Structure 1
Amino acid sequence: MSEDEMLNNSNEINEIVVSNLIGGELSLEKVTDDKLEADKKYKEIFVSDLSLMMGNVSQTALQVANQGMTLAQIAKQAPNGLFTATSNPANMSKFANGTTSTMVRDASGSLVEHAGFADVGLSASVNPAIILSAGMQVMSAVSGTYYLHEINAQIKGMDAKLEKLLNFHHDTNIGRLIAARKGLSEIANREFVDTTDLFAIRNYKTNADEIHEEYTYRLKRDESKLNLEINSKVEEEKLRDINFTMTIAFEASKLSLFAELIEIGTRMKIGGQIENIVGLTRQLKQNYTKSFYHNIDLEVEKVYSMLQQRSSNELVDKKKKYEKSLEKLTDVHIHNGWGILAEFGINTIVAVKSKSDVNKVKEKVVLENNNLRTVKKGMKQNKESDGIDKIIDKVVELPYKEAKILYVPSKNNKQRVFVPI
Structure 2
Amino acid sequence: MEDAEAVVPGRPWRLGPRATRVFDLVFAAALVLPAFPLVVLIGTTVEPLAFSLLQTVPLFWRRGHPVAVFAFVAGASVLQAATYDMPTWGQVGFPAALYALARFGSARAGWVGLFVGLCGAATASWVWTSAQFAQYPPGLEYIDYDLGLDDLSPYFFSIAAIVLAAWALGTQGRIRRAYEASLVERGRRLAVEAEQRAVLAAAQERTRIAREMHDVVAHGLSVVIVQADGARYAAEKDPAVAVRTLETVAAVGRDALTEMRRLLGLLRGSDDPALAPQPGLTDLPSLVTEHDRVELDLPDPLPEVPDGVALTVFRLVQESLTNVRKHAGPSARATVGLRSAAGALEVEVVDDGHGAAAAGTSGLGLLGMRERVEVHDGTLDVGPAPGGGWAVRARIPT
TM-score normalised by length of structure 1: 0.30
TM-score normalised by length of structure 2: 0.31
User: Per residue, is there more helix in 1 or in 2?
Assistant: 2
Greater radius of gyration (CA): 2
Structure with bigger RCO (C-alpha 8 Å, 6+ apart): 1
